[in-house]
Structure 1
Amino acid sequence: MDRDDETENVQIVTRPQLQQRSSIPSFVIIIFMLFLLTNHSGDEYLARNHHHDVLRSLTYRLSNFTNWMNGSDTNFSMPERNPSLRPLVESHMTLGSPLDPSSASYFPNITGFIRGEIDFYNITLPSLNDTQAPWASYAQSYMANTNASEVVNYLGTQDWKTTRKMAWSVVDRAVVDQGVANKMAVAHGRIDFPDNEMRLEFEGVHFITNGSIYGFAEPPGRHIDIRYLPAIVPEESQNETARVVQYELQSRIDKVKTMIDNGVVEQESSEVYAQIEPSPVSEELMNEVESELQSPTGKWTPTILPPRFNGVLLSRECGMLYRFQHAEGLRTPSFFRRVTNYGSLSGLVSLIMLALLSRHIDRTHSPAALQRLSAWTFYTQAIVDAVSLAAHITFAILAHGRPSLALIAPAFASCVIFSIEAHHATLINQVQSPGDAPNTILPAPRPPQQPPQNNASDAETAQPADDPQTPPPLTARSFLSALARNLYSDPQARIWIGILLCLTFVVRAIVSPSLALFFVGSMYSLFWLPQIVRSVRCGRSSSLSAEYLIGMSICRLWFPFYFLANSANVLDVEPRRWVYSLAAFVLFQVGVVLLQKSLGPMFFLPRRFATAQIYDYHPPMPSNMHDPEAPDQPLGDCSICMEVIHVKDSKQLQQVTGGLLQNVGVKKNYSVAPCHHIFHTECLEKWLAVKNICPQCRRPLPPL
């Protein structure tokens, strides 16, 4: 066959025909990877063995501690008191004393969160020699006989001087009827230092009558032995503290199956001393407020200022002392009330976003409107809503009781918004992909030819011809190329891989605070930027309404402003000044999108760059297509309305500028599609509002 015949047997298609692929292998791979991510059978086996070890250890310690209390033979011994310890602590804070119950009282329950500024003091012997503080002599006596090299090893490479803030989470549980005359409670929790990301576990006792707190603090993984608590409390309270410790050990043995301990390494602990500031409320009224907080009945109670704390964290082995004064406490009932308010406001904001999204989809359901949108704008918002869903669900699980119900509303709304945005973005991609796909030239199939008749001897001696259907041998390079082509051409593979990557990133973003902040900054910066790029590339403004742009931007900025500009947020996130720059950038993008509608999609680009590859539906018609002497110059019949197309019906477009009526161009009556079919411009505009394919040949058409 010659070259001309081959040219005639060539057909042009918009994209190659792809074989329908099954999603079962991809689904199996995803399920297997999720199984690896969520499988914890090995951890559960180790946890069971660990619980058995903890049970044996607690039983042994309780037995020795009971024998010590009874004066029997035991392996336990209480360390001697350091006579300089109490004067050193009281030089930085004042320990409480019983108050007149008719005029003042202490908070009986300190369960909640304590936040405050702290001061660092280096109490190593070399530093104390250069200190003229009045408490220096007590510190020197306290640090006597310490090895300077060991202190340096304990300090490590951490810059302890940079620590300026403290976050203390406390759970307070009162001890009732254990032979204790004074009201006491067992307190435990953790102390966080946000400046250097250090955390200490805390165990101690709370004297309710005088508002004093004594305890030990250790890094996670180093065991705190509460049997040594009687050594740091006042001498007159040592026996009562020992009975409270005995009760706590027995309680932990009873609940050991639900507890997770942090090891059995015996180390010297950092000592914590804290004091609650008195409240100018009588003890009777304080008890009524406490009862209403713990079991609300609707009874009116006066508003009491939150508790404030003074305290000292002292470490002899590290040679350092931290002091905090007037640290403000947020009690758990108040925190739960704050969580409820946040959940209610977040649910309202999410419902507003859902209403704006629904109205936007109603306006832009036609293919002509979808052609002017960017799918990445909605993909980005869908990812943000997926993170919001996971974060609110996790928060609801951690917040037990009534606050968790308030967090269900924003979680459910985020789930609905995520599904709608993902479906809308997929629809945009489906509408735009046929027009964006490059044309591919494929040869037409040739008719089968009869093979030449050969005898048996010729067939046996003939060499086998190369089979064009046989694929080349698989190599590493060809495998990667085939994988890349498969990901490019198979939308299911891209969706599954995208879901896996998003799932992994979402989990990491929620767990890591720094990664979460990076995620917020990057995702919020990409809301409307893809839409601006899409309008510039297509040469047409977006179909996003001002209501959707402004309303959605304000609603979405409410969440970062609540956490990054509000110091009283529920997660205690430190305010970040860059959130204002983020909001300004988002609103700047909104302004650009709105100006693209009135000034043109490329108004902000230099003139030499303000060119877009836009298909011209109104090319000038050559004069030989019609009779120049005829009064009516038809171009043919429109296949949409079946009427004749006349060039003379073109309309002069005008606009008002500065009070003057100016001509801006001519709207031609005819439109020529890329497939060379001619239609009325108005007919084609109405057609493209429903379908973006040619009415005659069914090929995809660019926006008009």
Structure 2
Amino acid sequence: MDAPAGQTVAAASANNNDNTAPTANPNGPDTQRSRGSISSLLFLALLFILFGGGSRGDDLLTRQQLHDSLQSLVDQQANFSAYLRNETSNFTLTQQDAHLDPVIQYFLPPSAYARPYQPSYYRNITGFLNGETRFVNLSSVTNSTLDPLAHALLQAVNLTEAAGRRGDWDWQAGNRVQFSVLESRPADNHTINMIHGKVDLFDKAADRTIRFTVDGVHFPLNGSFYGFVEARGRHSELRQIPSLVPADVRNETGQAVNAELLQRIDRLKAIITSGILPETEGTDDSLVTSCPFILHAQIHPSALSQRQMEEVEEEMNRPTGITTARRPVLLMDAVLVSPECGILLHIDSAKGLMSQRYWRKTINYAGVAALVYFALLVALVREIGRCQTPAMLSRIGRGMLIVQMCLDAFAFTAHMTFAIVADNRASLPLIAPGFIACILLMFQMQFSNNIYEVQGPEHPSPSPPPTRPAGAGSAPAAEALAIEAEQAPLMQRLKTLALRTIETLREFSGAFWLLISLGCGIWLLFDTLRASNFMVRLAHYVFWLPQIVRNVRRNMRMGLSWEYVLTVSAGRLFFAMYIFACPSNVLGVEPQAWASYLPWAFAVQLLILAAQDYLGPVFFLPRGWVSDDAYDYHPLLPQPDSEAPEQSLGDCSICMDAILLENDAAKSSLLAGAAVKRSYALAPCHHLFHTQCLERWLDIKNICPQCRRPLPPL
């Protein structure tokens, strides 16, 4: 079964000092669990084992240190194996506090999962579970039923020390939790699965995340979980897991744990033999909190029979296309309790997504994303082929392409990073949209350069400083200019320097904007998947704003085709809504409330562009704000004779067809200050054309096709 790469952290543990037996009461203020005596060096070595890949890390652990860790792990496995055979051993199983079970059963009552028939559960839940946590401070419980249970559990705990162990994490904030679980079945054991993974807590208010590692067991027959949860940088004692389970299955659990220790020994030997040391992940979260947790969890039973559940899971693991029962929803209730810190986290109905379904969804998303990016690429190539003349390029807002370059750089880095990290059957499909996004980025850079070559002269260059010839008895010209520059006001010198810098950047415009786009893409990848950054929202909301502003400033209608505008709008809106509005997107981004306004934002911008194309670029501005230099190609003309056989104004000088009048009575009074687009266009040289014919002609040349007189923009 494929495990989500980069999504599971399995923390291994072992005890370096087997001569230290744990006390009977693990909750006392001066006692330490046996797992606390394991050296952090051994924890790092075992943590490396479970990552399964990486690069040479000579700066992390030396070969001698790995040999020491291996020897310590072998000794601990030998002691634990002797304990299971009832032989003399230095290992002692810790007895859990008898007051712990009543507190857990208050939140996970066994009767809540009782059914009148034999229930069935998922046998393997490798994947992700997401839910919300409810914080309970066991030292100040107000519930009359829970209060005596919590008081009995914490009677031997120093509450002052417990508060110090909690660290600076805001436990009372509304935290979201994500379980990333990897299950494995020990050899010769069909009733117990070993689980490894991580538990991430997200403080949405403070925008913080803390990660815990989890080690435990899963009983597929009744859907129950037991395990230890420690902050990243600390470790749990794997051999103490049997102390958490019911007494009738402790021996069987011990055998499963022993098999897991043997597997870890083999993995560590393989690492030493290969000489490749995997890298560690992340930072030490034990600095944030030192609270250890005990995990008790229960999967919700399904309404299927055991045979139907086995068919569903078999079809999920090895699809054959057969018809099975409807796949039940994976829901799990969990309790994370830390008697040493006096806190409890309750997770109610966390929703799960199996790894098989997750990667299948990822492949489906990659296919759809590749098609969308291919449509965007085709639309852009067609638009580049259509916009070849300076007249067309001068009417395109370059800022619109720059925003798209940033978004496509983000898409390229995100898809490629996801594909590399995944390293499974979804990697190759994810490369496809990333590769097409990269090609799209290159074409956009080319298109942007073409536009700059036409629009660049619109920006005036800074005038050179005046030269002064050297006269008799005066300083040389160079010294005179230097003295004048030093005497110039500071703001004037800064302005000159800024203008020269901008002009230099324009000389390398393509490379400059490419670097800016790639930098923004990488930054958005690492900073904006939380969907809390204003830049991403702004980029989606005002996507066509540069084109609208360009139309107003130049008093020209849009130079882009509506085929390109609608294709780009639909494609960009698809990605925006999928990432920020879809509750089960493969990126794990939570739905954002502001995403519901994105379609309206796109619609408003498209309506403005359509109105500018039909009513004129400055139709929404007051008449006093519009320059008088703008030429009106659509003045009111005398109506033709009503008795004439054809109601036309004459023949078009381009297509030579008759110019028929439309019903323009309402148009003339719609907006007095707008250049209303009619079926005819009268040039300053008094030659009459169809509006569409003249538009197509002006896309090629800015002169009259008859008299060759220069024409203003239409």
Q: Structure 1 length as normaliser, TM-score? A: 0.73
In the TM superposition, residue 325 of structure 1 has moved relative to its aligned partner by 3.1
Structure having the higher Rg: 1
- How far apart are 1:429 and its partner, in Å? 0.9
Query: Given the alignment of the two structures, is residue 163 of structure 1 paired with residue 174 of structure 2, yes or no?
Result: yes
Say whether the 8 Å CA contact 2:297–2:332 is kept in structure 1.
yes
State the Cα deviation string for residues 587-626 of structure 1 (Å, max 9, x = none). 2111111111222211112222222776999xxxxxxxxx
- Aligned counterpart for 2:129 among listed residues 109, 114, 133: 114
2:161 to 140, 150, 172: 150
Retained in 1: the 8 A contact 2:55–2:278? no
Selected match of 1:49 from 54, 61, 64 = 61
The structural deviation recorded for 1:370 is: 1.0
Q: CA deviation at 1:171?
A: 0.7
Deviation at 1:336, TM superposition (A): 1.6
Of 517, 522, 535 in structure 1, the residue corresponding to residue 538 of structure 2 is 522
Q: Secondary structure at the match of 1:329?
A: strand
SS at match of 2:135: strand
- Mapped to 2, the partners of 1:615 and 1:105 lie a distance apart of 78
Moved more, 70-79 or 283-292: 70-79
Bigger shift: 462-471 or 138-147? 462-471
TM-fit CA distance, 1:329: 1.7
Deviation, structure 1 residue 492: 4.7
- 1:479 Cα offset (Å): 10
Give me the whole-angstrom Cα distance separating, in 1, the residues matched to 2:257 and 2:111: 22
Match of 1:325? 348
C-alpha deviation, 1:578, in angstroms = 0.6
Give the counterpart letter for 2:353 in structure 1: L
Q: In structure 1, what residue type is equivalent to 2:187?
A: V
- Is the contact between residue 102 and residue 282 of structure 1 (CA under 8 Å) also seen in structure 2? no
Amino acid at match of 2:219: F
SS of match in other structure, 1:255: helix
Name the CA shift for 1:225/1:611 in 2 (closer, same or farther; >3 Å): farther
Matched, 1:611 2:627: yes
Q: Which residue of 1 aligns with 2:363?
A: 340
Match of 2:566 in 1: 550
Q: What's 1:230 paired with?
A: 242
* Pairing 1:294–2:322 present: no
Pairs within 5 Å for 1:447-596: 466=476, 468=478, 472=482, 485-512=500-527, 513-514=529-530, 517-596=533-612
Q: Cα–Cα, structure 1 residues 582 and 613, in superposed 2: closer, same or farther, change >3 Å?
A: farther
Change in CA separation of 1:215 and 1:661 when aligned onto 2, cut-off 3 Å: closer
CA contact (8 A) 1:120 1:322 kept: yes
Equivalent position amino acid for 1:407 in 2: L
* Shift of residue 393, structure 1, vs aligned partner: 1.7
Residue in 2 that maps onto 1:427: 450
1:325-345 per-position Cα deviation (integer Å, ceiling 9, x unaligned): 333221111112211222222
Counterpart in 2 of 1:86? 101
Which residues in structure 2 correspond to 1:269-284 (within 5 Å)? 269-284=292-307
Kept after mapping to 2: 8 A contact 1:99/1:105: no
RMSD: 4.4
Q: CA deviation at 1:531?
A: 1.0
* Range with greater deviation from structure 2 (572-581 or 657-666): 657-666
Following TM superposition, by how much is the alpha carbon of 1:390 offset from its aligned partner in structure 2, in angstroms? Answer: 1.5
Q: Which amino acid counterpart does residue 135 of structure 2 have in structure 1? A: F
Q: How far did residue 187 of structure 1 move? A: 0.7
Give the Å deviation of 1:369.
1.1
User: 1:387 maps to what in 2?
Assistant: 410
Structure 2 unpaired stretches of 5+: 1-53, 272-276, 634-658, 670-677, 688-692, 705-709
Shift of 1:670: 8.8
Residue 240 of structure 2 corresponds to residue 240 of structure 1: no
Alignment partners' CA distance in 1, 2:541 and 2:246:
57
1:411 lines up with 2:426 in the alignment = no
Residue identity over aligned pairs, in percent, reads 32
Change in CA separation of 1:545 and 1:688 when aligned onto 2, cut-off 3 Å: closer
SS at match of 1:272: strand
Aligned residue in 2 for 1:453: none
Distance 1:148 1:298, change over 3 A: same
**Superposed displacement of residue 191, structure 1:** 1.7
Taking the aligned partners of 1:268 and 1:686, their CA distance within structure 2 comes to 72
Q: What displacement does 1:65 show?
A: 4.6
Q: Is the 8 A contact 1:537 1:612 kept in 2?
A: no
Contact 1:174–1:185 under 8 Å retained in 2: yes
**1:605-653 Cα deviation digits (max 9, x unpaired):** 2222222776999xxxxxxxxxxxxxxxxxxxxxxxxxxxxxxxxxx99
Q: Which amino acid aligns with 1:657?
A: D
Q: Show CA shifts across 1:550-592 (max 9, x none).
A: 3321221111211222212122322112112233222211111
The match for 1:174 is 185
- Say if 2:120 and 2:301, in contact at 8 Å, map to a contact too: yes
CA distance in 2, matches of 1:483, 1:94: 70
Secondary structure of the corresponding residue to residue 49 of structure 1: coil
1:142 maps to a residue whose letter is L
Shift of 1:246: 2.7
Could you tell me whether the CA contact under 8 Å between 1:171 and 1:188 is conserved in 2? yes
Structure 2 distance, partners of 1:50, 1:144, is 45
Distance 1:168 1:50 in 2: 33
Report the CA distance between 1:298 and its aligned residue: 4.0
Gaps of at least 5 residues in structure 1 are 1-41, 447-461, 618-651, 672-682, 695-699
How many Å apart are 1:225 and its aligned residue?
A: 2.6
Cα offsets for 1:161-189 (capped at 9, x unmatched)? 23353321111111112xx5x62111111
- Alignment match, 1:186: 194
Q: Partners of 2:630 and 2:665 in 1: how far apart?
A: 30
Q: Give me the whole-angstrom Cα distance separating, in 1, the residues matched to 2:616 and 2:660.
A: 17
Quickly say closer, same or farther: Cα 1:404–1:471, change in 2 above 3 A: farther
Q: 1:536 is aligned with what amino acid?
A: V
CA contact (8 A) 2:531 2:580 kept: no
Instruction: Quote how far apart the aligned CAs of 1:355 are.
Output: 3.1
Count of aligned pairs: 594
**Contact 1:55/1:253 (8 A) holds in 2:** no
Determine the C-alpha separation between the residues in 2 that align with 1:252 and 1:508: 38
For 2:217, the aligned partner's letter is V
Cα distance in 2 for partners of 1:183, 1:70 equals 23
1:238-265 per-residue CA deviation (whole Å, 9 max, x = no partner) reads 2332332233233233334365557798
1:515–1:334 Cα change, 3 Å: closer
Evaluate the alpha carbon distance shift between residue 59 and residue 136 of structure 1 in structure 2; reply closer, same or farther with a 3 A threshold. Answer: farther
Distance 1:464 1:116 in 2: 83
Q: Residue by residue, what CA displacement relative to the aligned partner does 1:122-175 show, whole Å, maximum 9, x if unpaired?
A: 211xx13x4302x43332221121112122222334332233533211111111
Contact 1:487 1:494 in 2 (8 A): no
Aligned equivalents of 2:628 and 2:94: distance in 1? 82
Name 1:26's counterpart in structure 2.
none
2:664 alignment partner, one of 657, 661, 668? 657
Residue type of the partner of 1:158? W
The one-letter code of the counterpart of 1:597 is D
Describe the shift of the 1:439–1:61 C-alpha distance in structure 2 as closer, same or farther (beyond 3 A): closer
Residue matched to 1:644? none
Question: Quick one: which amino acid aligns to residue 354 of structure 2?
Answer: R
Counterpart residue type for residue 566 of structure 1: C
Contact 1:98 1:210 in 2 (8 A): no
Structure 1 residues 442 and 90: alpha-carbon distance in aligned structure 2, compared to 1, 3 A threshold: closer
Per the alignment, in what secondary structure is the counterpart of residue 612 of structure 2? helix
Counterpart Cα distance in 2 of 1:188 and 1:275 = 16
Report the Cα distance in structure 2 between the residues aligned to 1:661 and 1:157, rounded to whole angstroms.
Answer: 69
Structure 1 range deviating more: 195-204 or 88-97: 88-97
Q: Which residue of 1 aligns with 2:334?
A: 311
